[in-house]
Amino acid sequence: MTCNLGNGCSVAAIRDGHSIDTTMGFTPLEGLMMGTRSGSIDPGILTYLMRQGRLRSEEIDDVLNKESGLLGISGISRDMREILAFVKQGHSRAKLAFDIYVHRLQAGIAAMVAVLGGIDALIFSGGVGENSADVRDAACQPLAFLGLNLDDAANSQHTSDRDIAAPDSTVRVLIIRAQEEWAIAKECWHVMRS
């Protein structure tokens, strides 16, 4: 299972090297809460806001994609580093943004565990996934019932491409550096050769 956490976020269930499910839908807006994207919401919220005269239909896309998520809830920033700095200062909206972000991530992971019927490895990637020990720790804590245990010292190191699971963990927890440009180039090469 992969957790690609950056300004955009998604969790994917991977079986035999192929994605069989993801938290994203028709657009990247569905699924997890992100830097400026809301993630999944009740569609009734939109019609309510329109009926109340608080949101015009042409504003919906901007609000959901550019003014929601960490930025919208915290009122401060879309950057997880800044959110965490404000959490440490006792900023209640930053704490709420972090808590919702982690809750939605945990729910996404749980959904993919159900799809897979278990989990062998949990991979964190992307800017937040690779660099935020706090997010990884908070996301993994309630997964101990799956046999997943983090090594706190390994989790706090600042290097990618490593296993941060405790030796007794039955689930491997990996940090893998995102190489999106390389993946795109590789696919283009395959298309050109076809």
Cα–Cα distance for residue pair 148/139, rounded to 1 Å: 11
89: three-class secondary structure by DSSP: coil
pLDDT at 184: 79
CATH number of the domain at 2-193, out of 3.30.420.40, 3.40.640.10, 3.90.1150.200, 1.10.600.10? 3.30.420.40
Q: Which of 167, 169, 156 is nearest to 120 (CA)?
A: 169
Predicted TM-score of the model (pTM)? 0.91
CB 55 within 8 A of CB 67: no
CB 84 within 8 A of CB 132: yes
pLDDT at 63: 92
pLDDT at 75: 97
